[in-house]
């Protein structure tokens, strides 16, 4: 497995070594020893989540704050998405910057999103099944997020606006400026 650190410190793209023959394929999706050696963290994943979405769905930008903050290891089991992480760690040199990575069932890439990041994805294929591991349990009281189309962040979700499907919660999410003000950053 190859690990490639993105421009955001601690956020890694993982590319598995795939073994294929006439029967199909095999790859190692996670190895805690290799992960700890390269990333420097041994995440005790405690929760697996899976979602299915249609083309144009944009989910995010979400996070959990404080003691309930979560790191995630994300991948796509079916279809293709544009996965996005935004650094919102106070004091980070890359605060407010984002990274976008195409994840698909075909390329089998994964993205490790450390704690302190907003996270979201857009569905680029007809359908997509998205799977992720979290290192902390979900707590509704810790939910936070930013409107995914906020111009300050400026993410190109690679889906035309007229085709985007956002939840009511995401449509009504706070601006990035409000997020920074609430968290005493700015």
| CA nearest to 110, candidates 138, 128, 88, 132 | 132
CA distance 178 to 175: 5
Q: Look-up: residue for tokens 């394929």? A: 25
- Residue 130 tokens read as 């998205």
Please state, in angstroms and as integers, the Cα–Cα distance from residue 137 to each residue in 35, 129, 169, following that order.
20, 21, 21
Counting Cβ atoms within 10 Å, is residue 91 exposed (0-12), middle (13-18) or buried (19+)? exposed
Query: φ, ψ for residue 37 (rounded to 5)?
Result: -60, -45
The answer to whether 132 is a known catalytic residue is: yes
| Marked catalytic residue, from 62, 112, 119, 147 | 62
| Marked catalytic residue, from 25, 55, 119, 132 | 132
Q: Look-up: residue for tokens 């544009």? A: 82
| Residues carrying an active site annotation | 62, 132
């Amino acid at each position: 497995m190859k690990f490639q650190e993105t421009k955001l410190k601690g956020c890694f793209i993982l590319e598995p070594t795939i073994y294929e023959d006439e029967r199909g394929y095999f790859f190692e999706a996670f190895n805690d020893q290799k992960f700890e050696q390269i990333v420097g963290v041994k995440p005790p994943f405690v929760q697996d989540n899976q979602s299915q979405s249609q083309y144009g769905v944009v989910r995010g930008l979400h996070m959990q704050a404080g003691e309930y903050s979560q790191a995630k290891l994300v991948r796509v089991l079916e279809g293709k998405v544009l996965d996005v992480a935004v650094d919102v760690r106070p004091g980070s040199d890359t605060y407010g910057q984002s990274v976008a990575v195409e994840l698909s069932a075909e390329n089998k890439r994964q993205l490790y999103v450390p704690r302190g990041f907003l996270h979201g994805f857009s569905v680029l294929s007809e359908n997509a099944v998205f799977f992720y591991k979290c290192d902390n349990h979900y707590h509704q009281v810790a939910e936070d997020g930013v409107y995914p189309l906020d111009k300050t962040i400026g993410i190109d979700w690679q889906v035309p606006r007229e085709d985007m499907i956002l939840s009511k919660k995401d449509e009504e999410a706070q601006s990035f400026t409000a997020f920074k003000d609430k968290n005493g950053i700015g």
